[in-house]
Structure 1
């Protein structure tokens, strides 16, 4: 299985295994808002947020969500986060089948993206390229391509 297929599995698994909500306290008052620019108004954007390189590279996300692009929702907001480093992975499920579709060579045929608009080299963007620091509120606009 190639690395981009692992990206799709990672994001999809994150939607099913997102960490349960934790009680809010003063150390968890940070918010991340990720706005996704898409070329289509169909389907959903699947988003997973990670808080470590280990989680980003195959572990459990700290949060995940599905955005209904057809309904006009293109902003993923994650609240009550502790300050620290985060990175996001996302893909646009244009046809609504719940999967990142690929061609016979495993190359995605649906748009995908990483925080910081990071790009990978023959696979997903690395944690180092996608990582951003959160202390207070953070916002990014991410282009799905």
Structure 2
């Protein structure tokens, strides 16, 4: 009898809760695209020390079709930072001049504009909770 009641109580409780967090939609709007050719590269980073030049957690390449572009990602709640550049000459990389200064338009989450060096993760950090989030980045 005890075994039967135990089995019934397990059925009533239902399945165990999932250990992975629920994903949500992160929309990234890119504004100020001035040259109508090439592609925009969007890279999403986690706080693992790779921002902004290392391996991104997720990313997309979006063909330029106007002054404003949008891309969506499915992410778990947490902290992220985004780096974006417009590959206007379509060579697949961010062209840099002397001293590593970008020659092509770029931008970061929080619209952070670095002065003398690349930004830190903390400069561009934002949080995603369980609800949808939209980030807007103006490239320059």
TM-score category of the 2 structures, normalised to the smaller one = 0.7 to 0.9
**How far apart are the structure 2 equivalents of 1:53 and 1:130?**
14
Give structure 1 regions of 4+ aligned residues with deviation exceeding 6 angstroms: none
Q: Please state how far the C-alpha of 1:123 moved relative to its aligned partner.
A: 2.0
**How far apart are the structure 2 equivalents of 1:40 and 1:57?**
24
Is 1:140 matched up with 2:132? no
**How far apart are the structure 1 equivalents of 2:63 and 2:97?**
24
Structure 2 runs not aligned, ≥5 long: 1-18
Aligned counterpart in structure 1 of residue 35 of structure 2, from 28, 34, 40:
40
2:56 paired residue number: 61
1:13 paired residue number: none
Q: Residue by residue, what CA displacement relative to the aligned partner does 1:22-44 show, whole Å, maximum 9, x if unpaired?
A: xxx87232111111011121110
Alignment RMSD (CA, Å): 2.2
Q: Please state how far the C-alpha of 1:96 moved relative to its aligned partner.
A: 0.6
**How far apart are the structure 1 equivalents of 2:117 and 2:83?**
12
| Bigger Cα Rg | 2
SS in 2 for 1:129: helix
Aligned counterpart in structure 2 of residue 131 of structure 1, from 102, 116, 125:
125
What TM-score, normalized by structure 1, do the two folds share? Answer: 0.73
Q: Please state how far the C-alpha of 1:58 moved relative to its aligned partner.
A: 4.8
Count of equivalent residues: 120
